[in-house]
Amino acid sequence: MTGPVSVPVTISGDGPGEGPPTPPADVPLTFLVAAGVGLVLGGVAVALAADRAVQWPGHPGVVSATHTVMLGFLTIGVLGALHQFGPVVAGRRLRSVAVARMTALLLIPGVWVLASGFAHSPSWMVRAGGTMTFVGVLLAAWNLSGPLATRGADITVWGLRCSVALLVATAAFGIVYAFDRTHGWFPLLQNRVMAHAHLGLLGWLGLTYVAVAEKLWPMFLLAHRPSARSGTVAVACLAAGAPLLTVGLLFSRPLALIGGTIVGIGLAAHLTSLGGVLRHRQRRLGLLHAFVITGALALLTAAVLALVGGLAPLDAVDRPRVVAAEIASLSAWLGLAVIGHAHKIVPFIRWTTLFERGKAQRPDGTPLLFEDLYSGPAAVGTFVLCSTGFAAVIVGLLVSSSTIIVLGGLAVSVGGAIAVVNLATGVRLATRGASEAVPVSNPLSRAGSMT
Amino acid sequence: MNPVEVNPVDVNPVEVARHALRGVLDPELGVDIVALGLVYDVRVDGDTLVVDMTLTTPGCPVSQSLPGQARAAVAAVLGDMPVDVRIVWDPPWTPDYVEPEARRQLGLR
């Protein structure tokens, strides 16, 4: 160390009047547990819809399975992470913890009512579930606007502002569509499902991940890049390109091509940013990076399939198949990222709770680390099952094999179940037998080892 | 393993505090914050022991807990002496600040 000069910018008084900006642990964990259940059931739903998926990707059963994965797993999981990450990165609290809990109470059952409505066709369920989900999304957006209104926002906060706005747009698109199915306000447009899926996957979920990655990747890999310009380009292009692509898919092919090109530039910049982080990393690669890099391969697959589906002269049978595989690839990109980061986020939240209770010790009294809070081999099992499962679903859709899709869906489901059990039971295993009478004022007893 | 109360008149509180900070581990990396180079300065200012420390990056998830741990660890060994832990961002932390032994432990390149 070369003796840096200390210039205080922010003073942490750690005084009695100050509290952490993050909400209580039950807020993000409620979302994250529900997302884990969504992953398990989403895999089962994909397996159950496999026969119809290879015949008609627009079948209600397939739409139900898609919404289970998109909303029940991805959206709920990402919202849970944002309720934790947003306040941390912005240094400002949510507008209301009570509203955050209300969001979960509306959103989680709403998603399942909506997915059941699609699967079993009673339109009232679609409308009720859609309304609950939409209101839940509005509450989440209002709540997250508190921390995201921070001054001096960096590219991550700017990206999150745009992605939350596009989440509201995606939900509004969906609720209008849900009611239009029965009320017939206006003729249904041909590419509405594709447009809706791309707005949600790229504008909401993709942009959120791209923005958050600019903060998390360098931190986890201790990578200090000379420039983060590619990350800025990625966020800007996704924020601008996803809405253009959506409108273009609905109304104008030239506009869709422009929007798709901008999105493509953004995603290429995102991958360039990942490459820069890997090149400048100081730490060894770990399990998280296996999830991230495999997810990046899924993103590349999606890009190729998007080019083929959008530009190649395909017939009416092959094009939906390719587009369905592209949607599955984008889901794999984001799904693997969410599962991988959950193995960082959940242990962190659980550790913080233990620390605040003065119980952040191993049974032998040494300090508890994040890696103690889950089983590494089980996490590797989740990675193998989920990555091969997603790959099987993509391949199954491309070669029209319901058997491969069934196997893929079940593999994802089992991998998700292992992750849920692993992350839920890790704390008990790590702290079993540890003394519970450790004072909070000295949570790390090694501080007194100088005796 | 019990914390030792030190009379700052008898012992240099800066050294005692620095030793105590060696017991504060980054729960993500498993390395203490002094070895990570996160502690920039420890000094006595009036009757208060002041610790200037940083984090690996602004927005670091442990930003809420590490300063509190540092403060608790130092307070535990300094008795009634007031402790002020300050987070500073200039200069920004880089992996170059990590001590050689910790570099080996972390497998830093």
Digitized pLDDT (tens) for each residue of chain A, 451 residues in all: 334 443 443 333 334 335 568 899 999 999 999 999 999 999 999 999 998 888 887 788 888 888 888 888 999 999 999 999 899 888 889 999 999 999 999 999 999 988 888 887 678 888 889 999 999 999 999 999 999 998 878 899 999 999 999 999 999 998 888 788 777 777 777 788 889 999 999 999 999 999 999 988 888 888 877 778 999 999 999 999 999 999 999 999 999 999 999 999 999 999 999 999 999 888 888 898 999 999 999 999 999 999 999 888 988 888 989 999 999 999 999 999 999 999 999 998 888 888 878 777 788 878 888 888 999 999 999 999 999 999 999 999 999 999 999 999 999 999 999 999 999 987 777 666 655 434 333 333 333 322 2
A contact residues 329-368, partner B, Cβ 8 Å cutoff: 348, 351-352, 355, 360, 365, 367-368
Q: Are A334 and A295 contacting, i.e. CB atoms less than 8 angstroms apart? A: yes
Q: What total number of domains does chain A contain?
A: 3
Last residue of a domain, one of A257, A282, A307: A282
Note the pLDDT of residue B7.
Answer: 53
A9: chain B residues, CB-CB within 8 Å: 87-90
A254 touches chain B (CB under 8 A): no
Q: Which residues pair with B39 in a beta bridge?
A: B53
Q: Which of A5, A348, A447 has its CB closest to that of B20? A: A447
Residues A247 and A308 in one domain: no
Closest chain B CA to residue A351:
B27
CB contact under 8 A, A284 and B72: no
Give residue A48's domain range.
Answer: 23-150
Residues A448 and A339 in one domain: yes
pTM score above 0.80: yes
Instruction: Find which of A7, A10, A11, A12 to mutate to test the B interface (most B CBs within 10 Å of its CB).
Output: A12
Q: Are B51 and B42 contacting, i.e. CB atoms less than 8 angstroms apart? A: yes
Q: Are A133 and A114 contacting, i.e. CB atoms less than 8 angstroms apart? A: yes
Residues A45 and A127 in one domain: yes
Percent of all residues in chain B with a pLDDT value above 90, rounded to a whole number: 35
Residues 6+ apart with CB under 8 A from A115: A45, A64, A65, A67, A68, A71, A72, A129
Q: Kindly state whether residue A61 falls inside one of the protein's structural domains.
A: yes
Distance from CA of A344 to the nearest CA of B (A): 9
Q: Which of A218, A444, A448 has its CB closest to that of B4? A: A448
Note the pLDDT of residue A9.
Answer: 38
Residues A243 and A317 in one domain: no
A contact residues 128-187, partner B, Cβ 8 Å cutoff: 156
The model's pLDDT over B36-80, given as tens digits with 9 standing for 90+, comes to: 999 999 999 998 999 999 988 776 666 667 888 899 889 989 888
Residues A278 and A308 in one domain: no
CB contact under 8 A, A450 and B96: no
Residue in this structure with the two tokens 């199915």, named with its chain if needed = A181
Residues A367 and A272 in one domain: no
Residues A222 and A301 in one domain: no
Closest chain A CA to residue B99:
A1
Residues A295 and A260 in one domain: no
Residues A100 and A191 in one domain: no
Residue among A251, A120, A110 at smallest CA distance from A171:
A110
Note the pLDDT of residue A211.
Answer: 96
Q: Kindly state whether residue A54 falls inside one of the protein's structural domains.
A: yes
Residues A64 and A144 in one domain: yes
Last residue of a domain, one of A235, A254, A282: A282
Rounded CA gap, A64 and A151, in Å?
40
Residues A290 and A428 in one domain: yes
Residues A232 and A367 in one domain: no
Note the pLDDT of residue A431.
Answer: 67
